[in-house]
Amino acid sequence: MKILIVEDERITRITLANLLNKEGYEVDTASDGEKGILKAATGAFDVIITDLRLPGKGGIDILKAAKESNESCVVIVITAYASVETAVDALKLGAYDYITKPLSPEKFISLMNNVHDYLQIRQENKKLKKRLERIENKSVIGSSPSMRKLLETVKNVAEHDYTVLVQGESGTGKEVIARTLHQQSARRDQPFVAINCAAIPEALIESELFGHEKGAFSGAIQQHIGYFERAHKGTIFIDDIDDFPLNLQVKLLRVLQERQFVRVGGMKTISVDVRVVCATKVNLEMLVRENRFREDLYYRLHIIPLHLPPLRERKEDIPALVGHFFKKLGAGNMLTHLEHSFYDNLMAYHWPGNVRQLENTVERIVATTDIGIAATLGAGNDLFPAETGQGAPSSNDQYPPYEEFIQEKEEEIIGWALEKTGQNITRAAELLDLPRGTLRSKLKKLNRFRE
Ligand SMILES: Nc1ncnc2c1ncn2[C@@H]1O[C@H](COP(=O)(O)OP(=O)(O)OP(=O)(O)O)[C@@H](O)[C@H]1O
Ligand SMILES: [Mg+2]
């Protein structure tokens, strides 16, 4: 807490400064109004104690200058008994309190300690507000029993440093859960570093994760600090861990066990303090059985497994998610225009792309809807994915019978592949990822077989 004392009486100035110094506060002084204003205007002080009556500019001017440069500065005015009225004016202008002369050292120190507590609480409050904002912005929506249970587990394990493995289909919110874990842990003010193994070329994964020394390989023109080091004291989120190269899995295992590694081309052992959260769309156990994933690493990752259910298994979360996405896009007012059939459509669909697909759908609605909202968002619009899932009867009348529909599509895609490949059946089959024989028999059936 930095304090400025503006007081023309030398004795008072020195006495106050000494008292505060003894209490361990950092103190600066000014002996008249002009000097006081100059110092106050820097905005460098948490607290300014000023006499009201000073040669040159008075205490009220200092109060104004202080508040102008630093609105949260605490100003205390000193006044003689006779001019308490002026002190009250100062309070109206935002002074924190006033003290009267002659000064009582005990009262003065007790007041300063109160100010100290006040500033600390205010600071704390600011931090809490920030955190609350963060939580509100990034909140995880989900009140279905499965999500509730999952969020309860997240809360319980967040504080510990256990490695967490988040499993779930694409778009179910694996990264959202990883971030929530980080936010709810003591590491929240430290970095959250997210990397996606599927997005980094395999040859680069090692140096991206663990860093490299200058000259480690051709192209390593300078030292590179990897993601693990950048996540020091925070959380590292490794997405698509199933894509982690087999030959690097030992190195990852060592980091998980000892929190130590060596940069590529380096000698020095680097120690890091990181919480590791991984995510996978595929069943790692299956990869272990196929010898594509180390069993020991699997058990290390599997300490706390979290399973994110697909959206179709927690449809009751859909309305809240829809509300959340509309609001996130600043289109909360559109919610009142949504018809019941709108939700019916959403609930009937099976959402193969999960929450991300739902979010994209809402984005499209917001982007394409302006007038006639109620009509557009009712039943029978083209904003929904064409397919309405199992047993959704609402759009049956828009489609030809199943077999006919499939045949038509088949013809269309085969025609496209043949055209692309200059009518070369072998290459068309490759393009469609079909055995050549299958394509031939399909062509026969479609009466398109020409040889
Ligand atoms: N429970 C939820 N509440 C609010 N938003 C969510 C929720 N789940 C997912 N989302 C949103 O859905 C989108 C996809 O989520 P996220 O990226 O976490 O999914 P993912 O499982 O990591 O997907 P992928 O497997 O494709 O990497 C994000 O925009 C995210 O904000
Ligand atoms: Mg993801």
pLDDT digits (tens, 9 = 90+) for 73-102: 999 999 886 677 788 888 888 999 999 888
Ligand 1 centroid to Cα of residue 354, in Å, is 8
Same domain for 417 and 377, yes or no, is no
- Answer whether 174 contacts ligand 1 (Cβ < 6 A): yes
Same domain for 355 and 247, yes or no, is no
What does the pLDDT read at residue 34?
93
Tell me if 273 is assigned to some domain. yes
Domain, as residue range, for 409: 402-445
- Report which of 258, 297, 275 is spatially closest to residue 162, judged by C-alpha positions: 275
Tell me the per-residue pLDDT of 354-405, one tens digit each, with 9 for 90 and over.
999 999 999 888 887 653 443 444 444 455 554 444 433 343 445 566 667 6
Q: Measured in whole angstroms, how far is the alpha carbon of residue 174 from the centre of its chain?
A: 12
Q: Looking at mean pLDDT, say which of 200-204, 258-262, 346-350 comes out highest.
A: 258-262
Same domain for 214 and 340, yes or no, is no
From 124, 155, 175, the end of a domain falls on 124
What does the pLDDT read at residue 13?
94
Atom of ligand 1 nearest to the CA of 169: 25
Structure tokens at 165: 């493995």
Tell me if 347 is assigned to some domain. yes
Side-chain half-sphere CA neighbours of 337 within 13 A: 16
Give the amino acid at 384: F
What does the pLDDT read at residue 130?
72
Quote the mean pLDDT of the chain: 86
Atom of ligand 1 nearest to the CA of 196: 27
What does the pLDDT read at residue 423?
85
Q: Which residue has the tokens 């496209």?
A: 416
Structure tokens at 341: 């059939």
Q: Which residues contact 148 (CB under 8 A, 6 or more apart)?
A: 142
Same domain for 304 and 316, yes or no, is no
Ligand nearest to the CA of 178: 1
> Are the C-beta atoms of 177 and 235 separated by less than 8 Å?
no
DSSP string, 382-394: SSS-S---TT-GG
* Number of neighbours of residue 164 by Cβ within 10 angstroms: 26
Ligand nearest to the CA of 166: 1
Lowest mean pLDDT of 248-262, 306-320, 431-445, name the range. Answer: 431-445
| pLDDT exceeds 60 at position 143 | yes
Q: Which residues contact 372 (CB under 8 A, 6 or more apart)?
A: none
Same domain for 95 and 198, yes or no, is no
Looking at residue 380, which CATH number applies to its domain?
1.10.8.60
What does the pLDDT read at residue 388?
42
- According to DSSP, residue 71 is labeled T
Q: Give SS3 for 128.
A: helix
Atom of ligand 1 nearest to the CA of 176: 18
| pLDDT exceeds 90 at position 307 | yes
- According to DSSP, residue 351 is labeled -
| pLDDT exceeds 80 at position 129 | no
Quote the CA–CA distance of 450 and 423 in Å, as a whole number. Answer: 10
Q: Going along 240-320, which residue ranges are E strands? A: 260-262, 269-271, 275-280, 304-308
Quote the CA–CA distance of 281 and 232 in Å, as a whole number. Answer: 26
Lowest mean pLDDT of 8-22, 280-294, 405-419, name the range. Answer: 405-419
- Answer whether 57 contacts ligand 1 (Cβ < 6 A): no
| pLDDT exceeds 70 at position 56 | yes
Q: Measured in whole angstroms, how far is the alpha carbon of residue 79 from the centre of its chain?
A: 50
- Taking the whole predicted model, whether its pTM rises above 0.75 is answered as no
Ligand 2 centroid to Cα of residue 236, in Å, is 13
Q: Give SS3 for 264.
A: strand
